């Protein structure tokens, strides 16, 4: 059985979405923490552009497999995971909190979809043998 039968493109896409949302959360949290810091330039990631770039570039760097029975994994997004990064000169707390809430919704939605996909795989495995 190959990995493509178990982990398909949807799961790969959802995994990348989770990684990008996680990176974005860190940037947005830093923006809020530095709201009153003089000279601080806020940073953000354009989620859609970063996800498109990750999917187009095949940005799934393979991890080293220590056992042939292990599934091949992907390495976390590196610095190139910031495609679509933007900066703005002005910040206010309302905009930053809105961005944080939006990112939270994107993360939770991706996670829920990934959990449902895993549940379908689990059902196929447990029910397939009956």
pLDDT at 18: 93
* Residue extents of the structural domains in the chain: 3-128
Whether pLDDT at 98 is above 90: yes
E strand map for the chain: 43-45, 85-87
Helix axes 47-56, 9-33, angle to 10 degrees: 140
Is pLDDT larger for residue 5 or for residue 102?
102
For residue 18 the two structure tokens come to 């989770």
Whether pLDDT at 116 is above 90: yes
Whether pLDDT at 84 is above 50: no
Please tell me the pTM assigned to this model: 0.69
Residue pLDDT, tens place only, 28-57: 999 999 988 888 888 888 888 888 887 777
Tell me how far apart the alpha carbons of residues 103 and 108 are, in angstroms, rounded to a whole number.
9
Tell me how far apart the alpha carbons of residues 73 and 29 are, in angstroms, rounded to a whole number.
28
Whether pLDDT at 78 is above 60: no
Tell me how far apart the alpha carbons of residues 91 and 95 are, in angstroms, rounded to a whole number.
7
Q: Locate tokens 């995994």: which residue? A: 15
pLDDT at 13: 86
């Amino acid at each position: 059985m190959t990995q493509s039968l178990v982990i398909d493109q949807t799961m790969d896409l959802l995994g990348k979405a989770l990684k990008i949302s996680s990176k974005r959360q860190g940037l947005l949290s830093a923006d809020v923490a530095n709201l009153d810091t003089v000279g601080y330039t806020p940073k953000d990631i354009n989620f859609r552009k970063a996800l498109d770039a990750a999917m187009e570039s095949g940005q799934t760097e393979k991890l080293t497999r220590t056992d042939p029975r292990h599934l091949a994994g992907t390495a976390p997004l590196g610095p190139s995971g910031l495609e679509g990064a933007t900066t703005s000169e002005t910040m206010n707390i309302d905009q930053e909190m809105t961005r944080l809430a939006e990112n939270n919704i994107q993360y939770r939605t991706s996670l829920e979809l990934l959990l449902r996909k895993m549940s379908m795989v689990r059902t196929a495995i447990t029910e397939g043998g009956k």
